[in-house]
Every structure is written in structure tokens, then in C-alpha cells.
Structure 1
Amino acid sequence: MKIEPGDTVKFVAADKGHNAASIKGMLPDGAAPFVGKNGEDTSVKFDQAGVYGVKCVPHYAMGMVAMIVVGTPTNIEQAKAVPQVGKAKQMFATLFEKLEAAKTLSK
């Protein structure tokens, strides 16, 4: 998902066993980490430009992750360097490929 600095994203808990949380190391400098409660919607305002990794804590290894790109991503290499587990590793590889392809198309 691509948004602009200052935008808010609402993560909707489609089930009581899901949440949304930032992934340590996959935040731009100065951005505050967040953790939503299981089964509750979580709204997050993204003020800092960059790449944010998001996970559902109970289902992270199963690949339930997302990438939020805010403005011009300044921390791509830092975010790529964060070790991932299980299917999350495959999902983030795909998301980073799509991000790189989008950057190439916009040049």
C-alpha cells in the first residue's frame, strides 16, 4: 500500500484472532512502533516517510504481513535486511520485488 506522510491506515480485525503490529527494524528512523490488540481494529497515523513492515502477530510465520510505503521510501535496504521467518520471508521478498518494479516504472 502506498500512502503519503500524515495519512492514517485502519487495520480491520476480520476475526478475533488477528491484530496488526509493526515489525522491529522495518520502520523509518523516528517512527513509533505500534501493536494492536487481538480482535480489535487499529488505526495508525504514518508521519515519517519510508517502508513499514506490518504483521499479524499470531499468524506472522504463516505469511500474514503487509508493507506500507509512505511517501518516498528512504529505508528500503534497512527494511530488507530484517530477518523474516516462514512464509513471511517469501511474502516480503515478493513485496520488495513489486516495490523495486514500481520504482523502475516511475523513472
Structure 2
Amino acid sequence: MRITSLTLLLGVTLLFSTAQAQTHEVKMLTRSATAGMVFDPDYLQIAPGDTVKFVPTQSGHNAATLPGLLPDGAVPFKGNINQEIEQTFSLPGLYGIQCTPHLAMGMVMLIQVGEPADLPAVLPAGLPSRALDRLNATLAQQARP
């Protein structure tokens, strides 16, 4: 069997790009040092192809995409309560993540895949006020130079 240089180059490129992908850990907490019902951290900026592992450090939580706050073409996901879930983010853009049972208590976070867009994020209508407040605070903090 003969391996062409193009096939070899493609194989090395795929191997290198997979080796560069990182896994980030996010804890799901009932209480942190500063607040209740939080993801820690509540904001991540990652590269396309990176994976986020959501760990239910304290019980009663899950991680799921927030409807209306994910890039076009991104596939929504929903983890089970008290179950660790790993999600790979391939499409660039801003992803909203919620703990489904604690959305009304403001348990949300943002994941920026790739470089931030020039336009501010438009938050979905109808979010509970605590979730909206936390997302706006996170966006404001990231907008600071």
C-alpha cells in the first residue's frame, strides 16, 4: 500500500489538531463562596473543538443549552440531573448554558467559542429575572478592557 504525501499531511494535521484540543472543567454548585446556584466558572472562552466537562460537584444540577442563546447550526444538549456530561463545542459563537431546575434562581453561564463577536449578544426573551441579571453581569464583565 502506498501512502501519498497528501494523505500523510492530512493525517498529521488531524492528529495535531486533536492533540491541541483542551478539556475545561465547570463545577455545578448549590453554593459557592460568593453566591448560590452557580456554575464555576460562569464564563469560559475556549477554542473551537475544545470540550467542556460539567461536573455536578453538589447534587441536584444538570447542564443544558439555553434556548435562543447558541450559534446558528449548533445542536442543543441536555444532561441528566446529577450526571457529569462532556460536550465538545465546534461552532464558533456564544452559548448560553443553564441548570434546568435552577434557571429561575439564576444558574446560568456563558461559553464563548472562538473570538468574541463585535456585536453584543441578544439575550432570549422571557428569561427569569435572576438569570437575565446574571447573564447581563457576565457580559458586562467580559466587555471591560
Distance 2:118 2:70 in 1: 8
Secondary structure in 1 matching 2:57: coil
Partner of 1:82: 124
Partner of 1:9: 52
Partner of 1:71: 114
Gaps of 5+ in 2: 1-43
> Shift of residue 75 of structure 1?
8.8
Partner of 2:100: 57
- Amino acid paired to 1:61: A
- Is 1:52–1:68's contact at 8 Å kept on the other side of the alignment? yes
Partner of 2:24: none
Q: 1:76 to 1:82 in 2, by over 3 A?
A: farther
Gaps of 5+ in 1: none
- Is 1:20–1:35's contact at 8 Å kept on the other side of the alignment? yes
Q: Give the TM-score normalised by structure 2.
A: 0.65
Q: 1:76 to 1:38 in 2, by over 3 A?
A: farther
Q: Give the TM-score normalised by structure 1.
A: 0.86
Distance 1:73 1:26 in 2: 14
Over the matched positions of the two proteins, sequence identity in percent amounts to 41
Q: 1:43 to 1:90 in 2, by over 3 A?
A: same
Structure with the higher strand share, 1 or 2: 2
Distance 2:129 2:139 in 1: 16
Q: 1:4 to 1:75 in 2, by over 3 A?
A: same
CA RMSD between the two structures? 1.6
> Shift of residue 25 of structure 1?
1.1
| Matched positions, count | 101
Q: 1:16 to 1:97 in 2, by over 3 A?
A: same
**Which segment drifts farther, 80-89 or 43-52?**
80-89
Distance 2:118 2:65 in 1: 15
Distance 1:13 1:31 in 2: 24
